[in-house]
Amino acid sequence: MIKVEGVTKKYPARTAVDNISFEVNRGEIVGFLGPNGAGKTTTMRMLTGYLSMNSGRIEVAGYDVAKYPQEVRRRIGYLPESCPLYPEMRVDEYLRFRAELKGVKVSARKAKMAEVKEQCGLTEVGKRIIGQLSKGYRQRVGLADSLIHDPDLLILDEPTVGLDPYQIRQVRELIKQLTERHTILLCTHILPEVEAICERILIINEGKIVAADTEANLHKKFHACAVIEMEITADKSEALSKIGAIEGVDVRSASELEDGWLWLELEADSSEMRVELFNLAVTEGWALRELSEQEHSLEETFVQITRNTKGT
């Protein structure tokens, strides 16, 4: 669906995007992440044909963006961070107007408007003036606008910014449903949002793509060790000595709990070291009530990746 090859965008004072390449397959939902100023917005604008590139090639739905910009735009639905709505228009008026601009046939407009209003939860507010709607509903109107021409690709830039937790949950569920018919590129700073709905992640830093993989694979790739928590009934000094003697395991911290258990946080070469720790507990006769690996958050991995690739 998206194929980016060696794309560079330069401004007089800086290079915003530096020789990036990546692909997004049809039907995928991909998170596009990066610090402020990393090149996300520039990349999205080049994908949609609103900004030219200095070199490289972008293909969307089989069309070269530079050669066939109108064909590309027909196949993209774009929801920018600050959605430019007409606050004086009613929802139905606005969607009808946008459908006309996007080339939806007159005979199909009424049915298409009804479909996107139902998808976006706007059926009951069709006669309402947009400027009188809550931010959550205005965001839904912008999303309905991006869907009105049934695009192959949806590019969503911070779709839940400024929404309350209930509205965020609703928009996330809607985005998940949209993957049945659309490929989605989601740009957001809200990392739990990416964890909740994205199948794969692209990370851009200082104009370069520095990571492209599933969340699970990124965790494995950018965290050199496993962190294991263990709770046992054992003498603290004896346990520290026995566990510390296992090659590939270091004790980060240890605490004696009020109920007589000993809590340990261990750094191990791999999660497989839990087998050796379990066997040790059996051999020493320690009661064992926890032996688990701490999960890395996407925030931790994102910080690790962008810090390690800074200046490269």
Predicted pLDDT of residue 9? 97
Kindly state the tokens that stand for 229. 């928590």
Residue 85 or 221, more confident:
85
Predicted pLDDT of residue 2? 96
pLDDT at 174 over 60: yes
One-letter amino acid for residue 172 of the chain? R
Domain coordinates in residue numbering, the chain: 2-220, 224-295
Residue range 68-73: average pLDDT? 92
**DSSP output for 104-172:** --HHHHHHHHHHHHHHTT-GGGTTSBGGGS-HHHHHHHHHHHHHTT--SEEEEESTTTT--HHHHHHHH
- Of 247, 227, 303, 243, nearest to 277 by C-alpha is 243
Q: Is 267 within 8 Å of 250 (Cβ atoms)?
A: yes
Work out the number of other CB atoms within 10 angstroms of the CB of residue 57.
Answer: 15
CA dist., res. 220 & res. 305, Å (int):
12
Predicted pLDDT of residue 36? 87
CATH number of 224-295: 3.30.70
Q: Is 205 within 8 Å of 36 (Cβ atoms)?
A: no
Look-up of token digits 């990392």: 191
The proportion of the chain whose per-residue pLDDT surpasses 70, expressed as a percent, equals: 98
pLDDT at 155 over 80: yes
Measured CA angle at 110 (ends 107, 116), to 5 deg? 125
pLDDT at 52 over 80: yes
CA dist., res. 191 & res. 273, Å (int):
30
> How does DSSP classify residue 213?
E
The proportion of the chain whose per-residue pLDDT surpasses 90, expressed as a percent, equals: 67
What pTM was estimated for this model as a whole?
Answer: 0.79
CA dist., res. 135 & res. 267, Å (int):
46
CA dist., res. 12 & res. 100, Å (int):
38
Predicted pLDDT of residue 310? 66
C-alpha of 265 from chain center = 30
Predicted pLDDT of residue 312? 54
Q: Is 273 within 8 Å of 228 (Cβ atoms)?
A: yes
CATH number of 2-220: 3.40.50.300
pLDDT at 263 over 90: yes
CA dist., res. 160 & res. 155, Å (int):
13
For the chain, what is the mean pLDDT?
91
Residue range 280-287: average pLDDT? 96
pLDDT at 266 over 70: yes
Predicted pLDDT of residue 224? 63
Which is it for strands 63-64 and 208-213: parallel, antiparallel or unpaired? Answer: unpaired
Work out the number of other CB atoms within 10 angstroms of the CB of residue 41.
Answer: 17
Predicted pLDDT of residue 205? 94
- Model pLDDT for residues 296-312, shown as the tens digit of each residue: 788 888 888 888 766 65
For the chain, helix (H) and strand (E) counts, in that order, are 11, 14
pLDDT at 273 over 80: yes
